[in-house]
Amino acid sequence: MNLRLHDLSKSFDGRTVLQRVHLELQDVHALVLIGPSGGGKSTLLRLLAGLESPDSGTIEIDGSGLPFGNEAALRRHRLQTGFVFQAHNLFPHLTALENVALPLIHVHGVPRPEARRQALELLARFKLDSHAHQRPYELSGGQRQRVAIARSLAVKPRLLLFDEPTSALDPEMTAEVLDTIAALKPEGRDFVLVTHQMGFARRVADHLAFLGDGGIAAHGPGTSLLDSPPTPGIRKFLERVLHY
Amino acid sequence: MRRFFLAPAGPSSAPTPPGILAAHFLLVLGVLTFGFTLTFHQLQYHWNWEGPWRYRALFWKGWLTTLALALASLGLSAIVGATAALAAKSRFLPARAASRLYVELVRGTPFLVQILVLFYVVAPALRLDNRFIVGTLALALFAGAYITEIIRAGIDSVGRSQWETARSIGLTTAQTYRHIVAPQALRQTLPPLAGQFVSLVKDSSLLSVIGIGEFALNAQQVNALTYGTLECYLPLALGYLVLTLPLSLWARHLERRTHFDT
């Protein structure tokens, strides 16, 4: 994926979260965003997803700009984008299978039996087929988040976005979800991931960007940012998160 | 003994057998019947069932009219309520204002006045002279205002994250209502909705003021003819119970069927 952010700004109720952000990346498959809470990581991810519109500036993915201001066109962008939220955000009244099949049936027009077959196949891949007919409240946190990942993958998105997918999970479940995400990497599907798990960032990142104080403070290929923090601020942040 | 009188302490304990539940139900019913029998006995009332029995056709006709009124306005009030609730949630501001005004006007004024205004002012202007239709409309508009608020609260009970997720997977607003919000809101709204429908059935008795020969009016007439007050009004109460109990039971059944934990 080629990604170009140009002069991107976003504020909420007068609080500036992103201020004139610039970034140009060529041929990255796994972009990892790190940084302090409130530093704009999630906001940038939501802009990439087309869930929010920027106050000014543009986002280009593979040469085509996101059509902010045109809800119909933005919806088409969202159809090709998978989003995994911090909390699993599954639909509580539907089974795991129905959660995964729903976007296929109602958004992508896949016939019901075929959609269910595909959903089951995907759940089986994540070893969730025995839970296919359970509702979210019957699943563990890790299982829920894996169902959410299966749902985002079902529509074969061009781009996958993960917003701290393990922040609500205990260490064991975190490992189970991170392994699932890591397994997606060899498939060559592009993703952008927000995480506080530095070990995992190191494992999957093609490119790492540090967001804080309204912008991208630093970015670099692979794990260079982690190995030699370019600013004292980043070094301090990394020392703090790696301390425990 | 404890197990006979107390429900299980937590969700993990075994549920009380249905036989014990039924026994308690019969027990309370028995105490109630005994109490009523005792009080009626004190009254030394001379029952005379002959009069009402002679006019049983009038009861039957009134009951059927009430049934028809209730069914027609029940369906219509649900449609009115759902429409006004969606209008209240609409981005189109005049629709919101109209919905708000409708709810406040109807909830804030007596049903009796609404019936009279609709029958003596609005209906003639619209060349509508069928009492039954005017009555159905009055009842549906009255109950619709309460149902609007019930449905609106149900929609609000579905969290923002559900809307956002629906948007992120590309559902349109209409699809989100249909597949995500409605099924979750329905479960929240079933108990108050059932209560509202039960009220609607009983409120239909007020339509007697515009001369609709429904159940209550006909019972009053039989009372005027036979002077057997209790013999006319007790069957009236029973007749309404026959209409309202199935509604409550049906709502309970639906509630169980749509059950899910969050």
**For residues B203 and B143, is the Cβ–Cβ distance under 8 A?**
yes
Residues 6+ apart with CB under 8 A from A234: A210, A212, A217, A218, A225
Instruction: Calculate how close chain A gets to B52, using CA atoms only, in Å.
Output: 51
pLDDT in tens, A99-144: 999 999 999 999 999 999 999 999 998 889 899 999 999 999 889 9
Helices A141-154 & A171-184 angle (0-180, nearest 10)? 20
Residue B44 at interface with chain A, using a CB cutoff of 8 Å: no
**Which helix H or strand E contains A8, and what residues bound it?**
strand A3-12
pLDDT in tens, B11-56: 777 788 888 889 999 999 999 999 988 988 888 888 888 888 888 9
The reported pLDDT for the residue numbered B51 is 84
One-letter amino acid identity for A182? A
Return the DSSP state at B210. G
Residues 6+ apart with CB under 8 A from B120: none
B165–A87 CB contact, under 8 Å: no
Residue B23 Cα to chain centre, angstroms: 28
Chain B residues in contact with A78 by the CB 8 A cut-off are 167-170
Q: Which of A47, A93, A149 to mutate to test the interface with B (most CBs of B within 10 A)?
A: A93
Domains located in chain B, CATH noted: 57-258 (1.10.3720.10)
Extract the tokens encoding A52: 């929010």
The reported pLDDT for the residue numbered A71 is 87
Extract the tokens encoding B8: 């299980």
pLDDT in tens, B241-257: 999 999 999 888 888 88
Residue tagged 């309404």 (tokens) = B240
Residue B172 at interface with chain A, using a CB cutoff of 8 Å: yes
Residue A187 Cα to chain centre, angstroms: 16
The reported pLDDT for the residue numbered B77 is 97
Q: Which of residues 92-151 of B touch A (CB under 8 A)?
A: none
Return the DSSP state at B17. P
Residue B162 at interface with chain A, using a CB cutoff of 8 Å: yes
Note if the pTM is more than 0.90.
Answer: no
**For residues B171 and A78, is the Cβ–Cβ distance under 8 A?**
no
**For residues A185 and A29, is the Cβ–Cβ distance under 8 A?**
yes
**Residue-wise burial string across B143-152, b where 16 or more C-beta atoms lie within 10 A, e elsewhere:** bbbbbbbbbb
For residue B262, is pLDDT > 80?
no
Residues 6+ apart with CB under 8 A from A130: none
For residue B189, is pLDDT > 80?
yes
Extract the tokens encoding A187: 């498939």
Q: How far apart are CA B195 and CA B248, in angstroms?
A: 8
The reported pLDDT for the residue numbered B261 is 63
Q: Which one has a higher pLDDT value, B155 or A217?
A: B155
Residue A6 Cα to chain centre, angstroms: 20
In the predicted model, what is the mean pLDDT of chain A? 89
By DSSP bridging, strand A207-212 and strand A30-34 are: parallel
One-letter amino acid identity for B214? E
Alpha helices in A157-230 (DSSP H): 171-184, 198-204, 224-227
By DSSP bridging, strand A81-84 and strand A159-163 are: parallel
Extract the tokens encoding B75: 């369906």
Return the DSSP state at B207. G
CA distances, A16 to each of A13, A50, A163, B103, B110 (Å): 8, 19, 20, 40, 52
Residues A212-231 have a mean pLDDT of 84
Chain B residues in contact with A79 by the CB 8 A cut-off are 170
pLDDT in tens, A138-192: 999 889 999 999 999 898 898 999 998 888 788 888 888 888 888 888 887 899 9
CA distances, A51 to each of A46, A54, A98, A115, A157 (Å): 5, 10, 23, 25, 16
Q: What is the predicted ipTM?
A: 0.86
